[in-house]
């Protein structure tokens, strides 16, 4: 029973790494695909994320807080499909955010819920995080198309 409890609690911590917080004061989301060529070529060259791999990683690491559909769960994780915070960041900016996390007392944290570095899973690699981000981007695209 103790091992199950530890596993569940670890899973919850892991799932905070995508979007538990952020400054969402701008009511008009910017389409993340509208980055200029200069913006995308002057940043560190990261390998592009794989949304197929990202879906599996998301389900393992994120769905306990953000839900299997990424629409968020009350008092846990935000809706990632419409999060202005996530939509307005580049993949590289989100990667850096996930790696660092955010404390509940951070003035930019709008939930009061901690976002631990790497969602509490130090084993996640940059590439795995980029895969998750790529998957979440497909959900953002679908939500924007359905507006």
Instruction: Select, from the ranges 21-35, 61-75, 82-96, 117-131, the one with the highest average predicted confidence (pLDDT).
Output: 82-96
* Cα–Cα distance for residue pair 28/43, rounded to 1 Å: 25
User: Do 54 and 132 form a contact (C-beta atoms < 8 A)?
Assistant: yes
pTM here is: 0.67
Supply the mean pLDDT for the chain. Answer: 75
- Average pLDDT, integer, range 126-130: 96
Structure tokens at 92: 């590289």
Domains of the chain, by residue range, sit at 2-145
* Cα angle value 6/111/129 (rounded, 5°): 60
* Cα–Cα distance for residue pair 121/132, rounded to 1 Å: 13
The answer on pLDDT for 13 being more than 50 is no
Between 85 and 16, where is the model more confident? 85
Give 33's contacts (C-beta < 8 A, 6+ positions apart): none
* Cα–Cα distance for residue pair 30/52, rounded to 1 Å: 25
CATH class (in words) of the domain with range 2-145: mainly alpha
């Amino acid at each position: 029973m103790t091992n199950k409890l530890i596993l569940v609690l670890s899973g919850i911590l892991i799932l905070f790494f995508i979007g538990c917080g952020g400054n969402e004061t701008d009511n008009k989301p910017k389409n993340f695909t509208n980055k200029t060529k200069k913006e995308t070529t002057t940043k560190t060259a990261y390998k592009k994320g794989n949304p197929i791999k990202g879906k599996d990683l998301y389900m393992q690491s994120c769905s306990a807080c953000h839900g299997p559909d990424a629409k968020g769960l009350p008092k846990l994780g935000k809706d990632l499909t419409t999060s202005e915070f996530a939509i307005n960041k580049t993949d590289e900016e989100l990667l850096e955010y996930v790696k660092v996390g955010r404390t509940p007392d951070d003035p930019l944290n709008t939930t009061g819920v901690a976002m631990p570095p790497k969602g509490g899973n130090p084993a996640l690699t940059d590439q795995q995080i980029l895969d998750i981000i790529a998957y979440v981007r497909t959900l953002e695209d679908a939500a924007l198309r359905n507006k």
